[in-house]
Amino acid sequence: MAFASSLLPSCSLPNLSSKPKKIVTAGNKIHPFSLLQRPPIFRIGCSLQLQGRDSSNFNLFASVTSADVLLDQAVEEVQVPKGDTWSIHKFGGTCVGTSERIRNVANIVVKDESQRKLVVVSAMSKVTDMMYDLIHKAEARDDSYISALDAVLEKHKSTALDLLDGDDLTNFLAQLHEDINNLKAMLRAIYIAGHATESFSDFVVGHGELWSAQLLSALIRKNGVECTCMDTRDVLVVNPTSSNQVDPDYLESGRRLEKWYSKNSCDTIVATGFIASTPQNIPTTLKRDGSDFSAAIMGALFKARQVTIWTDVDGVYSADPRKVSEAVILKRLSYQEAWEMSYFGANVLHPRTIIPVMKYDIPIVIRNIFNLSAPGTMICRPACSEIDDGDLVESPVKGFATIDNLALVNVEGTGMAGVPGTASAIFGAVKDVGANVIMISQASSEHSVCFAVPEKEVKAVAAALESRFRQALDAGRLSQIAVIPNCSILAAVGQKMASTPGVSATLFNALAKANINVRAIAQGCSEYNVTVVLKREDCIKALRAVHSRFYLSRTTIAMGIIGPGLIGGTLLDQLRDQAAVLKEKFNIDLRVMGITGSRKMLLSEMGIDLSIWRDLLNEQGEKADMQKFVQHVHGNHFIPNTAIVDCTADSNVASHYHEWLRRGIHVITPNKKANSGPLEQYLKLRTLQRQSYTHYFYEATVGAGLPIISTLQGLLETGDKILRIEGIFSGTLSYIFNNFVGEQRFSEVVKEAKEAGYTEPDPRDDLSGTDVARKVIILARESGLKLELSDIPVQSLVPDPLKDCASAEEFMQQLPQYDQDLAKQRQEAEATGEVLRYVGVVDVFNQKGTVELRRYKKEHPFAQLSGSDNIIAFSTQRYEKQPLIVRGPGAGAAVTAGGVFSDILRLASYLGAPS
């Protein structure tokens, strides 16, 4: 290595404060950035280890405080044009990855209407990796480093040939070949030594920024704009710190900028990113995110109007879009919010990038070079009140971020309480092994301290703690040092969290509804951030659940629809027509995750397209499997609230209600079988419903879309006492007896009702009165009566001889033979000014129910019905003299589906949707 080191003796480094090098302009042919003129690049480490939470915040604010005076002095002393006339642009490696992209960058710079512009560029995409590969090959004595270097040459040569011509092309290629020849010599030295020092590695890798700056500046001049290049090592001065960071020396940087600008004044400047110098004029780098950092420093020195960071995404997302497909672009972030999100792994600027611009309220804008129409995300100081689109105030939580591959360490013991220095000893031991503490949580009882560290460091941490506290463990003052592996952190970030009550409650409620357990919690008094530790396997589900709660809508419900027949199909069509309105106006997001019939089912991860659900079910449906269906709807998606909507009349489906409610699945149904089935089953179901936070709605089981159940429940809940419920509960029988007048024969009216679609396929199902009896038993049980269905006497309208007919057709053929009996009853009623009506009665006082054909005076409300209307009269203590009457359509798929839809919206309201 003696030979390799002698190539660049420290005494030969040029003085960066000496006369600046000439820069190529339209009429100047001297090569920029000559290798013999410029000092080597000493890049001291390219990665920055995240510090512990406490130390990170301390360093950030300490940096701001200590830099304020120097920054003020620097800005005041720089005698260059400054202020809003300057705009700063930074283009990352993907932005200058190809000749076409460099051309796009040049167009953006040329079209920028700012009076003055400074452009900071990174190396071309993948060039840094290629340069590191050169070093690794040379260290391994792999001769292919020569051909790999030729590939680097070819990449930049072909780019130059595509972009430049004339003297600019000649000058660049000459400089490029000179650089490559010098790199060959250095790599040869590394090859011989079998090792590269960090300084040598940084020197090799750093060429990428220099070449891309040369290419872009030449191209801008080619477009007719005067442009000069800045080697930022001539201007930016930084002091390395012990934490693998650097602190900018704003005062000295300001002086050097003044000197540089006095000899290179220009309204458009292209500067190298990442590179800087020490106070001793030794080239160094700005470490992690150095190009962004240098752009921010320049923005502060120039007091620029804005710093724009150009990248390959539309802005900062509310969550990682790879994990949450519904993540949205955030229009604005405060400086503090950006700090918090970046710490927790979000693709945002590193906190130090914000420090130089924050003092002068210079906004940083993240924009997508591949989508110029996207406005991007602005990071700035928030206004007193910010209102987003329309009248909706923005969410108090701006974004969510996660960190994976963590372990939780819990130090526990009664001997910790009230003992000064315990925490210091714990974290001193952690520091000694060089571990990074991500999060700390301690209860006020001081009985335990838990903290999160990267999983790869937890063994060393546990060993250090056990060694440090061996005596305390043996004596029982500490009970355990436990390690909980396979953890992840979820952080919610938002500046308005501090002034908005209930944010934490909403966060934990969303996690609870998603059945996710929280291992540890941390929240600072600033309330910018609430952090929770979860099982690793729950992390994505948790991220999606909380994002859904705060961003998708205030209430998002995943639904499974069972029975896509007449009622279920109509409901799906109603959901299709209304879903967008509900989401836009009421912030309710209804997602149908599955549809199943008796034979086929259709499942979706994100929600079925209801505009084509019938085609999808026919073409993509799989074999129906109730267990798989429910598991999919409830367990395999990111929406915490789940509802099963049973649109069948199947008792087997109804038998699952108890299990679903127990699992936290809400149930909505027009199916009467559960509430009118065995009393024991009904009581068990209602007991579970009342004891849990799971909802069970069944308004459409009585009266289709009419508010019968809710009216009854409202009366009871407000302390009224039910005396009697009497009503015409069957739309079919209502239609039949409303039209059974004059000379009409009963069988003819039944036939008309069947042809009009009012009856079941077999009219005996309606005429038997069983359906009415089920509704009566449901209302009786709601009123507190403990009756079985068999306790209700039912007057059947099916003649006894026809009960055993083989088919509905045979029944209809023989029914006219029995018209005489009902005709006689009608004549007797008409003779006394009455009409026939088929009613159900709940007699609460006598604790019984009946279903029968009754006669009513023509002035009675029951006698004044038309069509298939239902009518129900509630006689109570409050409504004893004048019963409370509910009347309206009580049959038909549209009104029944509407009743179910109403229950879905009631569920949404209970779950937090606005009323």
Residue 883 contacts by C-beta under 8 Å, 6 or more apart in sequence? Answer: 726, 873, 874, 875
Spatial contact of 235 and 251, defined as CB atoms under 8 Å apart: no
Helix (H) or strand (E) holding 427: helix 422-432
Q: How far apart are CA 408 and CA 437, in angstroms?
A: 10
Helix (H) or strand (E) holding 211: helix 207-222
Q: Provide the 10 A C-beta neighbour count for residue 450.
A: 21
Helix (H) or strand (E) holding 889: strand 884-889
Spatial contact of 487 and 535, defined as CB atoms under 8 Å apart: yes
Rounded alpha-carbon distances, angstroms, from residue 43 to 206, 284, 499, 590, 698: 8, 5, 44, 54, 70
Residue 360 structure tokens:
């002068």
Amino acid at 910: Y
Q: How far apart are CA 364 and CA 297, in angstroms?
A: 12
Q: How far apart are CA 376 and CA 389, in angstroms?
A: 16
775 among known catalytic residues: yes
Q: Parallel, antiparallel, or unpaired: how do β-strands 480-493 and 399-412 relate?
A: antiparallel
Q: How far apart are CA 774 and CA 156, in angstroms?
A: 82
Spatial contact of 519 and 533, defined as CB atoms under 8 Å apart: yes
Residue 700 contacts by C-beta under 8 Å, 6 or more apart in sequence? Answer: 669, 670, 896, 899, 900, 903
Catalytic residue among 126, 775, 858, 881, which?
A: 775
Q: How far apart are CA 792 and CA 106, in angstroms?
A: 86
Spatial contact of 500 and 512, defined as CB atoms under 8 Å apart: no
Cα Dmax for the chain: 127
Cβ burial 15-36 (10 Å sphere, 16+ → b, else e):
ebeeebbebbbeeeeebbbebe
Q: How far apart are CA 394 and CA 785, in angstroms?
A: 50
Residue 555 structure tokens:
């209430």
Closest by CA to 870, choosing from 837, 902, 844, is 837
Q: Provide the 10 A C-beta neighbour count for residue 274.
A: 30
Q: For helices 566-586 and 893-910, what crossing angle results, to 10°?
A: 40
Q: How far apart are CA 736 and CA 757, in angstroms?
A: 12
Residue 36 contacts by C-beta under 8 Å, 6 or more apart in sequence? Answer: none
Q: How far apart are CA 368 and CA 311, in angstroms?
A: 5
Q: How far apart are CA 179 and CA 550, in angstroms?
A: 54
Closest by CA to 571, choosing from 675, 670, 664, 661, is 670
Q: For helices 731-739 and 746-755, what crossing angle results, to 10°?
A: 130
Q: How far apart are CA 344 and CA 531, in angstroms?
A: 10
Q: How far apart are CA 858 and CA 836, in angstroms?
A: 10
Q: How far apart are CA 402 and CA 488, in angstroms?
A: 7
For the chain, the C-alpha Rg in angstroms (whole number) is 39
Closest by CA to 398, choosing from 521, 512, 511, 547, is 547
- Strands (DSSP E) contained in 282-376 are 283-285, 306-311, 332-334, 364-368
Q: How far apart are CA 519 and CA 531, in angstroms?
A: 11
Spatial contact of 562 and 646, defined as CB atoms under 8 Å apart: yes
Catalytic residues: 775
